[in-house]
Structure formats: structure tokens, C-alpha cells
Amino acid sequence: MKKVWVMALSASLAFAAAGCSGSGPSAKDTDTVKDAKGTNETSTAVKEVRVSWYGDANRTKVYNNTFDEIQKKLPNVKIIREFASSGEYWTKLNTQVAGGNAPDLMVFTLDNINDFAKRNQLLDLQPFVDQGVINIKDFNPTIVDSGKVNNKLYSVSQGNSIKASYYNKAMFKKAGVSEPDFNWTWEDYSKAMIALHDALGKDIWGSEDLGGVSNLLQSFLKQRSKDLYKEDGSLGFDKKDMIDWLTIWDNLRQKGGIPPADVTAEYAGKNEVEGILAAGKVASTMSSSNRMKLFQDVMKDELGIVRIPTTKGGIEFDLLAGVYSSIYVKSKVAKETAQIINLFVNDLDAAKLFGELYGPVGSTKIMKELEPFIDPTMKKVNDFQIQVSKNATSTVAYPTGSNAVNKLISTANEAIAFKQKSVAQAVDDFFTEAQKALKK
């Protein structure tokens, strides 16, 4: 289980500076550095390192600028870049891993680190930390631990966020609907989404359809003192929980709070620029808090930010998210890849270019140095994260097979949306298929 220590996270998000220490050695160093397997390596030959990421054109520009800066400081490394859209990235990465030809540096989210680590596709980074090649001395322990699976360090944070609701202030005002309370409930949410549709017209909806998003279901379950999975790798909830969840979205769909299935399908997989929120077709969404800036950059209307809806009388819970750097277990340039990761998280010039693309960065030292350069929208995000970080409690690590199960959640919601199945039938089928996937 990933341990998320609440006080430590609050300190990190509040930018409390930890003790300072220097970055690990770069490719310019002439001292012998051992690689992860303990082999002495002093070669100065230029080595190619393949790095990968996912996202749209704006995100790709940020990554390219950051890697350009890192490239200047690693003359013995040639950084080869690979990227894909969010939807295509995971399919491509799975294919590359299956073929034994994955990039040296891969990015992961907390949703899928476990799956790749448990399939033995990621390199243990602790030897590089012990040797000083990757410096995480200024990292908050919470963020370090979130990159571990079975107590082994497989990933280093590029930035962390917390699940949030953001909403178009102008659309709420135009509809005469009060802006959401910071601690709104699912009942409050449903009433507001339907009221927005009623006021703004038949082609405008309150929110996009989020019934198939696994980590939002997880938040809903945590509010009920449950989780997506148990420690033994089985499902951590029962049919009634899922019926209750999917019924919320089915009721919203029927009453105009979210779009019908065909409209949702039209915008599925779109990036922030082309998405349904930026198009003005919905007034709100829920996602990782860092994405608020990506949306705000392509929208003229101001966005507000609050928690995702809560369960009345339920557990206070806010879900930690983030994007992480990992090294392919078969990489032949693991040390050089580790040096790139080190500069990514410890070099101020690189940090200024990358900014808070995925939320506050792991190093409290770098976070403190970034304060004067923080975008106003990200200041809102940081303030939001400080406010809710006390509720970012632990979750059960995703087991092998979880990627297939999480896809089945989306499939169940789609079947209901297209009126192919009732809620009860979709849930029955989900449990049958999910249990099969988790036994493989």
C-alpha cells in the first residue's frame, strides 16, 4: 500500500523548505559512478536515451523546452523524444513493453505504476538514490513513498495534484445557479448540474459524463470507507456501491445534467483545447487539480475550483494524483536516464520551464525557489491543495489486472448511456468480467 502521511503532504504543499543539498552527479562528472547493477562505468561516449510522455501540443511544448534545458547540461547524452496523445500512449507503451523495446524513461500515473512494476517492467531506482545519481533528499517523504510499490522505489514524481472540481464561473452566473460550495455533496452537485441545463438550453449541460472514471469511483468508495481493491487484489466494494454510483450518472443523463451518449462519444479522448469544457458545452468537470491551468489557458471565462462532491455523513477523502518518471527494466542506459530524472526534479532552470504542469513538484527546495514564478491559476491550485491535503489518506495499490478492470468501469457506464443495458445488468456483467480479469 502506498502510505500517504497527511502532515507531511500538507508541509510539502505549503512549500515548507527542507534542508538544502546538491544535485547528484551529471554526465560531466569524471568520477566513476556505479549503475543500478553495481557496475563501474566511466565511459564518456555520447549515448542515446529515449524519453516518452503523453499529452497535447501544449504539454509537448513544455516537455520539449524542459528536455532542451536538460540536454544542455548532459553533453554525453542525446535525448530522443517520443510522445503520444493520452489515449494512444498507454496502448503504445504496452505494445513496446511486450516487444521488449520500451523507452528508457517512461511516465506513469498512480493508476498504473503498480501494474507495470508488478509485471517486472520497471527498474528499482533506490540504488541510484543511494549513490547520489538521483537526489531526493529535499523531497517530502509522502511524495517519495507514493512512487513505491511493495516498498521498492520505481518512480520519482514530476508533480502531484489532488482530484478537484472546476467550473465556469460565467456559465453559473448566466444560469442563475449559485457557485458550488467548497464542500458540496453529490446531492448538491446533481441539483446544480440539472439546473444549469434547464437554464442554459438543450445543447448545454452541467458537466461532462464522468461515470466511467475509475479514480472518481474510488473517491466515492473511499467516502464510504471502502476502496476499489482489497489488499489481496480482489474488488474492494460490492454491487450496491456500483449501482449507487452509476445511478447518479444515469439520473443526470436522463435529466440533462450531463450530455447524452452520442455527445459524450463525440468529445471522448479530446485534449483540453478541443474538449467539451473548453467548447462551452458543459459548465464543469472533475479532474486532477493541475489540469485547471491547461483548461484556463484555452478559455476566456474564469474557472473556479472546489473539492469533488462529498458524501453526506461520509468519510472526508481527497485523492492524490500525479505523474512520475520511471526507468525501463531493460534499459541499456539506465545511469544516463537516472541523470535526466535527477535534473528534471532538481535543476531550477528546468523546473522553471516545466513549472507546475502536474501540480507542486516533489522537492520542497525547488518548490520554494519557484514561488516567485508561479502562474496565478496555479496559485489557486496550490491554495486548493493545501486546504484539502489533510484528507489525502492512503489507498490500496492497484493489483495486476487493474487496467482491464478500470476499463470495464468505463464500459459499464457506456452501456447504460447507450441504453444497451440497465444499471443492474451492467453491474452484474462488470462483476463477472472484473473477477475474471483479476484472476489472470
User: What's the 3-state SS for 297-363?
Assistant: CCCCCCEEEECCCECCCCCCCCCEEEEEEEEECCCCCHHHHHHHHHHHHHCHHHHHHHCCECECCCE
Q: Which amino acid is at 58?
A: N
Q: What is the DSSP string of 15-73?
A: T-----------TT--S-EE-TT--EE---S-EEEEEEEE--HHHHHHHHHHHHHHHHH
Q: Give the range of the structural domain holding residue 215, as residue numbers without chain letter.
A: 162-319+395-439
Separation between Cα atoms, residue 23 and residue 347, nearest integer Å: 8
Q: Are 290 and 418 contained in the same domain? A: yes
Q: Are 173 and 96 contained in the same domain? A: no
Indicate whether 380 belongs to any domain: no
Q: Are strands 47-54 and 77-84 parallel, antiparallel or unpaired?
A: parallel
- 280-290: pLDDT as tens digits: 999 999 999 98
Task: Note the pTM of the prediction, 2 decimals.
Answer: 0.76
- 297-348: pLDDT as tens digits: 999 999 999 999 999 999 999 998 889 999 999 999 999 999 999 999 999 9
pLDDT at position 44: 65
Separation between Cα atoms, residue 328 and residue 333, nearest integer Å: 10
Q: Are 297 and 337 contained in the same domain? A: no
Indicate whether 386 belongs to any domain: no
Q: How far is CA 301 from CA 166, 279, 304, 328, 384, in A?
A: 12, 11, 10, 42, 19
pLDDT at position 140: 82
Q: Are 125 and 169 contained in the same domain? A: no
Q: How many domains does the chain have?
A: 2
Q: Are 284 and 216 contained in the same domain? A: yes
Q: Are 40 and 126 contained in the same domain? A: yes
Indicate whether 345 belongs to any domain: yes
CATH of the domain at 215: 3.40.190.10
269: left (phi over 0), alpha (psi -120 to 50) or beta: left
pLDDT at position 21: 33
- 76-88: pLDDT as tens digits: 999 999 999 987 9
Q: Are 38 and 89 contained in the same domain? A: yes
Separation between Cα atoms, residue 319 and residue 219, nearest integer Å: 6
Q: Is the pLDDT of residue 120 over 80?
A: yes
Q: Are 212 and 255 contained in the same domain? A: yes
Q: Are 149 and 168 contained in the same domain? A: no
Q: Are 404 and 257 contained in the same domain? A: yes
Indicate whether 389 belongs to any domain: no
H helix or E strand, kind and range, residue 40:
strand 40-41
Radius of gyration of the chain (CA): 22
Q: Are strands 282-288 and 205-207 parallel, antiparallel or unpaired?
A: parallel
Helices 423-439 and 402-417: angle between axes, nearest 10 degrees: 160
